[in-house]
Amino acid sequence: MNDILNGFRKDADGRVFRSGKTTEAEEGTIVTVLQQLANPDPLNAVYCTNLPTTYSLKIPSTVASKEEVYETNQNRSCASNITPTGTVIDLHYDPKHHIATILGTGKTNCLKLWLFCPPTEKNKEVFFRHYDGNDTLRRSFSELEFAEFVLQDESQAVIFPPTTLHATLAIQGGILVALDFTTPYHIPACSDLVLRLAEGHRLEKHHCVPIKNAYELAEVRFKESATELLEARKAYCQIFSLIRPRLPRKLSGKCQICDKLWSLHSDKRKD
């Protein structure tokens, strides 16, 4: 706990939210979050997200052996959430592979209920039609397809691929520690969701950067004739104007998809 609290500092990404809301950060309520771990208030739960921690998770060999991994716990710290009993984290998706474990407080064991929905065309349409950062699950649940519930205890880790729609409920409060990592195989799916999100919502840096990382990995890992490399280039071409990254040296010339100079690259959706 001390390690996690050291991460709650003004220059970090850690923020406190009211249960069920993901866009309206609370101010100065970290003490309330800690109080609720010992004395739950499920109807008024607040939680804290994205606290950096030195707690280490490893990518399971069954996953790493099948995927070319861009980031591992050797070069990226884990992040943690403090979620008292009753905390609801609304329906959302992550643009990276996600591994999550949970820890109790010492007095009680942590127990978390997950909802997973695959990113089918119908689910993506439903999600973005209802998405505004608050109460998305409540307004969209009756329309979602292939939903599954998973009950996680402290002996288990949850692993799911990027773009999986998910939400959580802390049945018994505790701390969630998660590790995200990138591979080059899911770029098209991730870029599709990013482009849909950009059409009607504010785009955050963390939505786009994983696609840039995966693209760079694809350029190294795949042969020039590989289908995966072509798909990676197409996706990166589409979102380049949304990311606005520094140009890697190899991108000083023309885009191999649209034949435009990278330095003059424009959003393909406006062409």
pLDDT tens column, 128-161: 888 876 789 999 999 999 999 999 999 999 999 8
Residues 230, 145 share a domain: no
In the prediction, which pLDDT does 249 show? 47
Residues 46, 172 share a domain: yes
Residues 140, 8 share a domain: yes
The sheet with strand 148-152 has its strands ordered as 88-92, 165-172, 111-117, 148-152
Residues 157, 146 share a domain: yes
In the prediction, which pLDDT does 73 show? 40
Structural domain span for residue 209: 184-270
- Residues 74, 133 contacting (CB under 8 angstroms): no
Residues 230, 168 share a domain: no
Residues 153, 190 share a domain: no
Residues 212, 106 share a domain: no
Contacts of 55 (CB under 8 A, 6+ apart): 3, 4, 78, 80, 177
The DSSP bridge partners found for residue 18 are: 46
- Residues 176, 112 contacting (CB under 8 angstroms): yes
In the prediction, which pLDDT does 53 show? 76
> Percent of the chain having pLDDT more than 90?
27
Residues 204, 225 share a domain: yes
Examine the fold and report which residue of 181, 198, 217 is the final residue of a domain before the chain moves on. Answer: 181
pLDDT of 112 over the 70 cut: yes
28-73 residue pLDDT tens = 567 888 889 889 999 889 898 878 777 777 777 766 665 566 554 4
- The pTM assigned to this predicted structure is 0.79
Residues 105, 26 share a domain: yes
CATH code (residue 14)? 2.60.120.650
- List helix spans (H) across 15-114: 30-38, 61-64
In the prediction, which pLDDT does 193 show? 82
Contacts of 151 (CB under 8 A, 6+ apart): 111, 112, 113, 114, 171
Residues 221, 95 share a domain: no
Name the 3-class secondary structure at 178.
strand
Residues 212, 143 share a domain: no
13-26 residue pLDDT tens = 557 777 766 655 56
